Structure 1
Amino acid sequence: MAKAKAAPPDDDAEATAKPKKGKKLKLIIIIVVLIVILAGAGVVGLLLLKKGKKDDAAHEETAAAPAMVDLSKPPTFVPLDPFVVNLALGEGDRFLQVVMSLHVADPKLSDGLKGFMPQIRHRINLLLSSKLPSELATTEGREALANEIADGVNEVLGAPPGAANRATAPVQAVLFSSFIIQ
């Protein structure tokens, strides 16, 4: 018995060694998966940013490109006689003097408007006299007034009011050539 039997390995030692290897392997797999996910998210983010920049650049190019005007078909404008009206009470005695033109869709319409002119002028007079000076002091207020006048004239002519119908309406826009509030 010179040789002593080697002690069998402890089951506890083996059990502790395997879980350590298993835990390390799980940790490595988790880290690799996280790296792959983060890399994928980064690539997707870069692609979306580049796409957004291209869309913005394309939008700017289309916005910057001037609209081509067909010079063979000049627009038709119908000038109206000047309007002088008292503005609505509330901010003192003020009056408005305005000269405007109607941008009409069809050149033939300019002659046809003459028959409706008393109704058109009446509608515009009522609309102008209902405004307060403070409503007309800003650019937005004047643009809103021009839209209201266009809708009113289109209504007199039998067209449906509203900006959505403006492209097909008889009167497409109202343009002020003089606008004085006193």
Structure 2
Amino acid sequence: MLVILLLAIAACGIAAWTLYEMKNMQARLLSENGLPEVTEVVEPIAPVYVPLDTFTVSLKPGSEEYDRVLYIGLTLRVGNEEDKSRIEKYLPEVRSRLLMLFSGRSAEELSVNEGKSQLIQDIKQILSTPLDEKSGVTVTDVLFNAFILR
């Protein structure tokens, strides 16, 4: 009982010392820096999404496979409304670029996560090339709605 009592007193002493030191550190920080600065709260920007119709594409034949099909649904997250309207304006060209990109892939590439990640990077890159005399669109993320390999 005596050992338990001594341990309890020691624990209380350590807790009190820690609390005292934390208050001293807080007082020193406030005296060195003055009052803490009030930072302005920035409201998060609402994401802008562009849903695309699903694609059904014949994939490049692999070494042992001859007829593989990719069924893929995409939603693009773009930087602003201007990029969204540019994609909608040039939608046939965007779909054509994506179809060419998808048809150049094989089922072996797309069946692993690294292949899917590389596909996302390639979609971002292919859509960043200019669609008109201005610049391309800024795609911040590519979201898969459907991804079926057959």
Q: Same fold (TM over 0.5)?
A: yes
**Structure 1 residues 11-56: Cα deviation after superposition (integer angstroms, max 9, x where no partner):** xxxxxxxxxxxxxxxxxxxxxxxxxxxxxxxxxxxxxxxxxxxxxx
Between the aligned partners of 2:61 and 2:130, the Cα distance in structure 1 is 27
Q: Which residue of 1 aligns with 2:87?
A: 113
CA spacing shift, 1:71–1:101, aligned 2, 3 Å? farther
Q: 2:41 matched to 1:73?
A: no
2:114 equivalent in structure 1: 140
| Distance in 1 of aligned mates of 2:70 and 2:101 | 12
User: Where does structure 1 differ by over 3 angstroms across 4 or more consecutive aligned residues?
Assistant: 156-160
TM-score, normalising length: structure 1: 0.53
Q: 1:72, 1:134 → 2: CA distance?
A: 39
Structure 2 counterpart of 1:126: 100
Structure 1 residues 159 and 111, CA, compared in 2 at 3 Å: closer, same or farther?
A: closer
1: CA distance, partners of 2:130 / 2:95: 10
1:174 and 2:142 aligned: yes
Report the CA distance between 1:97 and its aligned residue.
0.3
| Partner of residue 11, structure 2 | none
Q: Spell out, residue by residue over 1:65-92, the C-alpha distance to the aligned partner (whole angstroms, 9 max, x if none).
A: xxxxx76421111000000000002322
Q: CA deviation at 1:171?
A: 1.4
Normalising by structure 2, what TM-score?
0.64
Percent identity between matched residues is 31
CA 1:146–1:139 in 2, change beyond 3 Å: closer, same or farther? same
Query: Which of 47, 52, 57 matches 1:85?
Result: 57
Aligned to 1:108, what secondary structure does the other structure show? helix
Q: Given the superposition, is the C-alpha separation of residues 138 and 111 from structure 1 closer, same or farther in structure 2, using an over 3 Å criterion?
A: same
Aligned length: 105
Tell me, yes or no, if the aligned pair for 1:120 and 1:156 is still in contact at 8 Å: no
Deviation at 1:147, TM superposition (A): 0.8
Q: Distance in 2 between matches of 1:83 and 1:71?
A: 36
Return the match for 1:100 from 51, 56, 74: 74
Max radius of gyration: which structure? 1
Inter-partner Cα distance in structure 1 for 2:123 and 2:43: 27
Residues 70-126 of structure 1 deviation map (CA, whole Å, 9 limit, x = unaligned)? 764211110000000000023220100000011100123212211111111001000
The CA distance in 2 between the partners of 1:156 and 1:121, in whole Å, is 14
**1 or 2 for the larger relative contact order (CA 8 Å, sep ≥6)?**
2
Match of 1:47 in 2: none
Which has a greater percent of helix?
1
Q: Residues of 2 paired with 1:72 and 1:131: CA distance?
A: 37
C-alpha RMSD of matched pairs (Å): 1.8
Corresponding position of 2:21: none
